[in-house]
């Protein structure tokens, strides 16, 4: 039982929330209530979750010597010795195989397979090399999120808006540099026990500037998406711009968590455990659904609520 628990810790299921980007095309193409398309997106989500866990295992194997020196990461299963390196490789291969089984269930679409294979490839390269190259490390993280959203579009045969892709780019850079900031604060870049060599190429001023630019870019690109001609024509409304309020609050709240609470090192946990962020996310999703699916919701209510 303990071994299974260690394997689950190694897989980091709490990080699967990042794969929620797969559902973005489903929601913004107004296909959320299409059960057939929803199932296609769900299978793609499952395939990405397993592939991501396989990558996390390999990353922990690659970083085990550095993690042993980290005040928090030393408790990870491989760094602590709870799971051996050989067990880690075996688990990673098993997860990859399971991922492609889900891909087969999804109709074995070549485009989705290429997106997942690309995600695995760049993240393996990231684990062993790219994470040590200043700035490139942030863009590699961003590419992983973009591949998620593209795979979600491929799953339901929907072309993803360029504005949504740009928003995804900037929000992933924002989360990535926020993580770098927390790591930088936790472990001095000049310390011998520095657990991430790339931190020596950053300084706090540079990190904060990138954080500010990426935060502003998220808000601007999302706002431009909501008022773009294609968006307004597709949804027959300009009301989506009002959801920018929740996006803006979410960015500001996360900056607060990073600067005041020191929670930026693990974005997934910060997003899942902070009550204000959870409430804001729920309100954002409710407002998007209410705006985009107004007619469907009215029909649903009229069918189940008797008129006086």
Average pLDDT over residues 31-53: 94
Average pLDDT over residues 220-247: 95
pLDDT of 272 reads 85
User: How many C-alpha atoms does 107 have within 13 Å on its Cβ side?
Assistant: 15
Which tops the pLDDT comparison, 219 or 69? Answer: 219
The pLDDT tens digits of the residues spanning 164-217 come to 999 999 999 999 999 888 888 776 544 544 555 666 677 888 999 999 999 999
pLDDT of 77 reads 87
Average pLDDT over residues 29-44: 93
Please state at what angle helix 244-260 crosses helix 275-292, rounded to 10 degrees.
170
Average pLDDT over residues 251-258: 94
Long-range contacts of 77-82 (CB under 8 A, 24+ apart): 77/6, 77/7, 77/9, 77/10, 78/10, 82/6, 82/9
The pLDDT tens digits of the residues spanning 49-63 come to 999 999 999 999 988
pLDDT of 285 reads 96
CA angle 30, 250, 158 (to 5 degrees): 25
pLDDT of 187 reads 67
Q: Length of the chain, please?
A: 308
Q: What is the reported pTM?
A: 0.89
Share of the chain above pLDDT 90, in %: 59
Average pLDDT over residues 101-127: 84
pLDDT of 193 reads 47
pLDDT of 308 reads 54
The pLDDT tens digits of the residues spanning 266-298 come to 888 888 889 999 999 999 999 999 999 988 888
């Amino acid at each position: 039982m303990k071994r299974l628990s260690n394997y689950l810790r190694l897989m980091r299921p709490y990080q699967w929330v990042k794969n929620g980007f797969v559902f973005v095309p489903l929601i913004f193409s107004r296909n959320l209530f299409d059960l057939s398309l929803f199932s296609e997106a769900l299978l793609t989500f499952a395939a990405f979750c397993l592939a991501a866990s396989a990558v996390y295992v390999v990353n922990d194997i690659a970083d085990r010597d550095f993690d042993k020196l980290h005040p928090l990461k030393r408790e990870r299963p491989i760094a602590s010795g709870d799971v051996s390196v050989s067990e880690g490789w075996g688990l990673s291969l098993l997860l990859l195989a399971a991922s492609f089984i889900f891909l087969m269930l999804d109709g074995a679409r070549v485009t989705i397979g290429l997106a997942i294979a690309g995600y695995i490839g760049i993240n393996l390269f990231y684990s062993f090399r790219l994470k040590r190259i200043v700035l490139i490390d942030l863009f590699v993280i961003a590419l992983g999120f973009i591949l998620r959203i593209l795979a979600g579009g491929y799953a339901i045969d929907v072309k993803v808006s360029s504005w949504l892709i740009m928003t995804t780019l900037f929000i992933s850079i924002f989360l990535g540099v926020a993580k770098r900031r927390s790591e930088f604060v936790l472990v001095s870049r000049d310390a011998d026990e520095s657990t991430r060599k790339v931190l020596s190429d950053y300084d706090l001023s540079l990190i904060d500037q990138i954080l500010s630019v990426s935060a502003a870019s998220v808000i601007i690109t999302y706002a431009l998406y909501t008022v773009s001609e294609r968006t307004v024509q597709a949804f027959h409304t300009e009301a989506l711009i009002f959801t920018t309020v929740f996006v803006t609050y979410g960015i500001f709240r996360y900056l607060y968590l990073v600067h005041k609470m020191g929670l930026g090192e693990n974005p997934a946990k910060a997003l899942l455990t902070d009550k204000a962020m959870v409430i804001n996310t729920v309100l954002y999703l409710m407002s998007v659904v209410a705006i985009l699916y107004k007619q469907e919701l009215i029909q649903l209510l009229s069918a189940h609520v008797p008129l006086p």
